[in-house]
Amino acid sequence: MNTHLEKMGLSERFLQEATMHLELKLGRITTQYKRIYRVATAHGELLAEVSGKFRYGVTSTSDYPAVGDYVMLSYEEQGDQDSQRALIHHVLTRKSIIERRAAGTSHDMQVVAANMDVAFICMALNDDYNLRRLERYLSLVWDSGATPVVLLTKSDLCDQLEEKLEQVASVALGVDVLTTSGLMENGIDVVRDYLQSGLTYVFIGSSGVGKSTIINGLLGTEQMETSATRNDDKGRHTTTHRELFVLPTGGIIIDTPGMRELGLESADLARSFADIEQLASQCKFSDCSHQKEPSCAVQRAVQLGELSQERLASFFKLQKEAKYDGLNSKQIEAQKLNDMFSGVGGMKNARKHIKSKKLK
């Protein structure tokens, strides 16, 4: 009965949680248009909106369903599915989530995608190339629960390819890096060969880096609108909403609008700045802020040219932005748990969270 959903990445963990709502039906969000959603179900795709009770119970915009979410909904199995409107009552627990601070606000978070296994961080090798932005994306993805992969596009427009590949490798520690060229007939094969059936992949990055072109190539159709970059080499916005697609080969991909601004609320700096984390473990003081303390291994690495001042400055900036200024890795994890489980029953839920992580 769930064959269609299994092709869309449905796993045992979501099936088990769905049994808590036997009166409802399971679905996965494939498209989001403001407050209207297209949902894939065992009976086909249909339009849905959240129920009044759901809307009354949300406390932030990130509580609303997002593309990639598994939801429990009610609808009539018979009749014209194009004309009926299903109701979403619950969003199942997300195994991963990419979210950013919504533009123009200080607290609201915007969900970019949910329940993805891998996030392709797309960056063009022309004027879009920016190592500091890449560090920001890596911190965001590592924190999301997904695995980051750096996807470098437009290599045909790059004059210093080897030099830039070395620079990317120096900040994308432990991360796979793929390179594509729009001029090569098989330029998309490097991405296609990376995909696995049943896994969900999200493509994120600035406008105009070639995300839609890559997705069209993977789908084998002109599904996504594309356009050339402007004269100043900045990307035009072609994707205006989030959408999930099932590939002929079985993988699931999520396309997202371009994001040149990327506000962070939380970040995994221990993973994205593992080199600084390793150096910090050699500092004389365990609470070293890596500013002016004596015997600071981080500052010593900067002086010896082993760590760039720009990368350290980027680390400090993201640390401050994510409210981790002056905290070590253990303190950061405690802060995350405190933010995640604040309120009634917070410590009980935190203990459950820690136990579940140990069982994985």
**Which tens digit of pLDDT belongs to each residue from 155-201?**
888 888 899 999 999 999 999 999 988 656 667 889 999 999 999 99
Please state the rounded mean pLDDT for residues 104-123: 84
Contact call for residues 245 and 215 (beta carbons, < 8 A): yes
pLDDT of residue 26: 96
Same domain, 197 and 346: no
Among 231, 255, 279, which residue terminates a domain? 255
Same domain, 134 and 231: yes
Cite the DSSP H helix spans in 243-345: 269-272, 274-280, 297-303, 309-321, 329-340
CATH label of the domain that carries residue 64: 2.40.50.140
For residue 329, what are the domain limits?
Answer: 269-359
Q: Rounded distance, CA 218 to CA 61, Å?
A: 32
Among 255, 282, 312, which residue terminates a domain? 255
Encode 173-221 in three state secondary structure.
CCCEEEECCCCCCCCCHHHHCCCCCCCEEEEEECCCCCHHHHHHHHHCC
Q: Rounded distance, CA 242 to CA 158, Å?
A: 29
Q: Average pLDDT, whole number, for the chain?
A: 82
Residue 260 forms part of a structural domain: no
Closest CA to 271 of 119, 123, 108, 151: 119
Number of domains in the chain: 3
Residue 82 forms part of a structural domain: yes
pLDDT of residue 89: 97
Residue 356 pLDDT exceeds 60:
no
CATH label of the domain that carries residue 324: 1.10.40.50
Q: Rounded distance, CA 126 to CA 154, Å?
A: 7
Residue 324 pLDDT exceeds 70:
no
Residue 51 forms part of a structural domain: yes
Residue 349 pLDDT exceeds 80:
no
Q: Name the amino acid, one letter, at 144.
A: S
Same domain, 50 and 140: no
Q: How far is CA 80 from CA 2, 26, 43, 77, 129, in A?
A: 20, 19, 11, 9, 48
Please state the rounded mean pLDDT for residues 31-42: 90
Same domain, 156 and 206: yes
Please state the rounded mean pLDDT for residues 91-108: 79
Same domain, 313 and 182: no
pLDDT of residue 161: 87
Contact call for residues 290 and 278 (beta carbons, < 8 A): no
Residue 262 forms part of a structural domain: no
Same domain, 234 and 279: no
Residue 261 forms part of a structural domain: no
Same domain, 249 and 195: yes
| CB contact set of 260 (below 8 Å; sequence gap of 6+) | 206, 207
Residue 80 forms part of a structural domain: yes
Q: Rounded distance, CA 306 to CA 264, Å?
A: 27
pLDDT of residue 344: 43
Encode 94-133 in three state secondary structure.
CCCEEEEECCCCCCCEEEEEECCCEEEEEEECCCCCCHHH
Write down the pTM of the prediction.
Answer: 0.82
Same domain, 191 and 112: yes
Residue 225 pLDDT exceeds 80:
no
Q: Rounded distance, CA 198 to CA 126, Å?
A: 33
Beta bridge partners of 153: 124
| CB contact set of 97 (below 8 Å; sequence gap of 6+) | 62, 66, 111, 113, 114, 115, 144, 145
pLDDT of residue 227: 45
Same domain, 242 and 136: yes
Same domain, 104 and 242: yes
Reported confidence tier of residue 323, pLDDT bands at 50, 70, 90: confident
Reported confidence tier of residue 232, pLDDT bands at 50, 70, 90: very low
Same domain, 103 and 251: yes
**Which tens digit of pLDDT belongs to each residue from 39-97?**
999 888 999 999 999 999 998 888 999 999 999 999 986 655 556 689 999 999 999 99
Least confident of 91-105, 132-146, 203-217, 300-314: 91-105
pLDDT of residue 127: 76
Reported confidence tier of residue 333, pLDDT bands at 50, 70, 90: low
At 280, list the tokens: 């910090």
**Which tens digit of pLDDT belongs to each residue from 245-288?**
999 888 999 998 766 566 677 789 999 999 999 999 999 998 89
Same domain, 79 and 174: no
Among 255, 290, 323, which residue terminates a domain? 255
Q: Rounded distance, CA 186 to CA 12, Å?
A: 36
Q: Name the amino acid, one letter, at 216.
A: N
**Which tens digit of pLDDT belongs to each residue from 139-152?**
999 999 999 999 99
Please state the rounded mean pLDDT for residues 201-209: 89
Residue 313 forms part of a structural domain: yes
Residue 231 pLDDT exceeds 50:
no
Residue 103 forms part of a structural domain: yes
Residue 228 pLDDT exceeds 50:
no
pLDDT of residue 133: 92
